[in-house]
A and B are shown apart, each in its own frame.
Chain A
């Protein structure tokens, strides 16, 4: 835990586990006889229970949103930027909950946990969850924690979509909703990128039809390649030029030089891919990208986004990031316009940044100021 972070960090945290023994039926009809969700909380739930905030993670996110696991831990949770004492999501007055989605690979019931029916890892046999399933499972978690209403449900990317789904599935539960770098549904291009990622995994010889865990191998090459493609879509062209340019990490541009060339950007992507493949389950990656593909906020309203969002009772904050080409600003504007057409209170801004889709995870003065100021209306005053 770097000292510089100590003053406004939630500090040392540890994950908790909730076990649900009642059968849980997924949207696709499959039933989990029992399941577990792993989660973290920061801050204190007040007596009135009106200061609880739910953070929904993105595609490869986890329940570890803030703080450190050990004193010598160098990397905090994935959204430490926004969560902590004195930060936009201020843990001095808010009780923050973040859970690992069902089907995830960080402790919640998923492909890498044991199927009680067989005693072996679920693997590719784990049923396909959808965003609505995650929302419903998080509602069980909320009830387990003694929460009956969220002061806010907040998320970026897939997490933003999940936050929106919360707002329309359980309107009376969601007082405020924050959707960052989100979209009402995926485009053909979005699905295509997900398919490339899945194809990378499925064509790895170590994939073994998804049954690699019981053979004690991991399709790391496939997962690494999937992550490289995914990661590329999270960055902007300008951001990459600024950060890597055409710099070489190995080799030389001089004509007489005979060497292998490794550009900085190659080295970076390889590193991201390798690091990710060592910790992320291939089946989960396939399931999560599929859940993204299937997501459509207006699916039960014949594609009418206004009708879908009309059900919500929340105040909304919708933010897009100018250089995001995965879910570009106009996708957030679709959400914003549907909310306004439905007469919902909404604040919208397009944050000027070179950080691309990752903009919602990275420091930016306007972004942090807007989120901080808007969050002041969340929870007891």
Chain B
């Protein structure tokens, strides 16, 4: 899967930030943040093999289930809290978002857009849940249990009193301008910079 969202996330992380990467996987992206953005990073992951890989890259990681509420970070402040392509795997995405903007000055979230026209046509024409290269698993064994669309996400942010600072959409090369103008239909994934509303 092409993860163009990561380049956007990278460009949004201010130089020298304290970064918390939720679901950091093998730490490859967090390592990039440390090297290319001089970030001071901490990763969170639950998978032991991922932890070993991340530690082997010289990173500090915490084994924790994001679904457990990230309580360990209540007294810790980060400049940026990152969650890339994992929102849809969480038991309570809304609680995680609230926690993220609480422990970070800013949060950056990316997710696959379920409102993409391919998903819609797949569901519309075949009557079956979409399965694609990017989302290869069937509905019953997919880790992606909370799909949302660009519109859904923005509505949730509004409900949670979370401000959207910036939005970027990822679409195929041919549809890039469409993705910009009509993200809910043409963006294959979306990236958001968000923060707790001041009001």
Contact = CB atoms under 8 A, between A and B. Distances in A.
A343 B72 contact: no
A359 to B, nearest CB: 14
Contact of B60 (A345, A351, A366, A370): A345
Contacts of A343: 76
B78 to A, nearest CB: 11
Nearest to B55: A373
B121 interface: no
A315 B58 CA distance: 11
Contacts of A248: none
Interface centre among A337, A345, A351, A352 (most CB of B within 10 A): A337
Contact of A366 (B48, B56, B61, B62): B48
Contacts of A345: 60
Interface in A201-222: none
A374 B63 contact: no
B75 interface: yes
Given A345-B60, A346-B62, A350-B63, A370 B72 contact: no
A369 interface: yes
Contacts of A333: 72
A377 interface: yes
Nearest to A338: B75
A348 to B, nearest CB: 5
A347 B61 contact: yes
Contacts of B51: 347, 349, 366, 370
A112 to B, nearest CB: 42
Contacts of B48: 349, 351-352, 366, 370
Contacts of B63: 348-350
A340 B72 contact: yes
A227 interface: no
Interface string B62-77: 1110000000110110
B52 interface: yes
Nearest to B61: A347
A341 B52 contact: no
A376 interface: yes
A93 interface: no
B76 A341 contact: yes
Interface string B101-135: 00000000000000000000000000000000000
A340 B55 contact: no
Interface residues of B, number: 16
A341 B60 contact: no
A370 B62 contact: no
Contacts of B64: 348
A57 interface: no
Contacts of B62: 336, 340, 346-348
A343 B75 CA distance: 9
Contact of B72 (A337, A349, A374): A337
B33 to A, nearest CB: 16
Nearest to B73: A340
Nearest to A374: B55
B79 to A, nearest CB: 13
B56 A341 contact: no
A310 B36 CA distance: 29
Interface centre among A340, A341, A376 (most CB of B within 10 A): A340
A343 B77 CA distance: 9
Nearest to A318: B62
Contacts of A352: 48
Nearest to B57: A373
A336 B64 CA distance: 11
B51 to A, nearest CB: 5
Given A336-B72, A349-B63, A350-B63, A377 B52 contact: no
Given A345-B60, A350-B63, A370 B75 contact: no
A198 interface: no
6 nearest A-B pairs in the assembled complex, by CB-CB distance: A341-B75, A373-B56, A349-B63, A366-B48, A373-B55, A369-B52
Interface of B: 48-49, 51-52, 55-56, 58, 60-64, 72-73, 75-76
Interface of A: 306, 315, 333, 336-337, 340-341, 343, 345-352, 366, 369-370, 373-374, 376-377
Given A343-B76, A376-B56, 20 more contacts: A336-B62, A336-B72, A337-B72, A337-B75, A340-B62, A340-B72, A340-B75, A341-B76, A346-B60, A347-B55, A347-B60, A347-B61, A348-B62, A349-B48, A349-B61, A349-B63, A366-B49, A370-B52, A373-B55, A374-B55
